[in-house]
Structure 1
Amino acid sequence: MSAPAGDLSLPRVDVNSVRVAASAERVWDTLIESIPAGLAFPSPFLRLIGADPAAPAGALPEAGAAIPGFAVADVLPRRRLTLVGRHHFSRYELLFTVERAPLGAMLSAYTRAEFPGLLGWGYRLLVIRSGAHRVITRRFLRGIARRAVRAPRA
């Protein structure tokens, strides 16, 4: 599996994927519906770390739309969604892809990020090296898979 194009200036953190027994279209729709709640963090935490973007804007998945901590940088409808953001300790990209696969679809999340300075190093240790990011990302993808499979057929 080769990574789709993204901000190649950011170092690769990880890739997580889940096979979904639902159509790629249904997986995409479920992904878009799931992002606002699934990537939500408490407002006090976002203010503390200086999350940018800080406020919602537009409607997902339109380019330029945002939820606190993430902005849509690029979208290829029903195939690829690139979210970017930054805060005091990191600059990051989260790229979601939905591909047709035998008996359904493959949903993947590619993470790239940099963690500058000593505080960035500490944040990376806390979030990435601890395994927390991987656990949270996999849980998010599995939740999308479950909801897509249970969604009523159009």
Structure 2
Amino acid sequence: MERLPYIDQHSTLVPADRARTWSALLRTTCEDPDDLSTLPRGFTLDEADPPHRLALTGRHPFSRYALVFRLDEETPTGTRLTAESWGEFPGPHGRLYRALVIGTGGHRLVVRAMLRRIAGAVRA
């Protein structure tokens, strides 16, 4: 992964071991959890190191970005799931896009909701 400027990170403690958390991550992130190429529109797989790390990248005219999920075992039945965001927003349109996405707090809300959805999928 090309090193992009750091944006932020958010974490949650998932009440499951790393293997179950990894499975929940793939079920909520991929259209087909058995096929890592079925990521949401706008993302491509950069790296998968099951059950430790999933790195996604993307780009469009106003930004280049990466979303990295880290799974760290806190206890035998608890995993710290962290989403790290990285991105570059070149030019005046990029600065405006960053202000709308990052500056308004919308990005933070979306990432935190994603982490809650993944944690909820463990219980399902």
Q: CA deviation at 1:89?
A: 0.5
Unaligned runs of 5+ in 2: none
Q: Give aligned pairs, total.
A: 120
The separation in 2 between residues aligned to 1:145 and 1:119, in whole angstroms, is 35
For the 8 Å contact 2:70–2:81, the answer to whether it is kept is yes
Match of 2:56 in 1: 83
| Amino acid aligned to 1:118 | P
Match of 1:106 in 2: 80
The separation in 2 between residues aligned to 1:147 and 1:32, in whole angstroms, is 10
For the 8 Å contact 1:79–1:99, the answer to whether it is kept is yes
| Amino acid aligned to 2:51 | R
1:47-81 CA distance string (max 9 Å, x none): xxxxxxxxxxx921xxxx25320000111111101
Q: Secondary structure at the match of 2:68?
A: strand
Residues 112-131 of structure 1: pairs in structure 2 closer than 5 A? 112-131=86-105
The CA RMSD measured in Å over matched residues stands at 1.6
For the 8 Å contact 1:17–1:107, the answer to whether it is kept is yes
The answer to whether the aligner puts 1:18 opposite 2:9 as a matched pair is: no
Residues 25-44 of structure 1: pairs in structure 2 closer than 5 A? 25-36=19-30
The separation in 1 between residues aligned to 2:64 and 2:116, in whole angstroms, is 25
The separation in 1 between residues aligned to 2:120 and 2:2, in whole angstroms, is 30
The separation in 2 between residues aligned to 1:73 and 1:146, in whole angstroms, is 25
| Amino acid aligned to 1:74 | E
For the 8 Å contact 2:65–2:86, the answer to whether it is kept is yes
Indicate the structure with greater strand content: 2
Structure 1 runs (4+) greater than 3 angstroms displaced: none
Unaligned runs of 5+ in 1: 1-5, 38-57
Match of 2:35 in 1: 59
For the 8 Å contact 2:28–2:121, the answer to whether it is kept is no
Q: Secondary structure at the match of 1:69?
A: coil
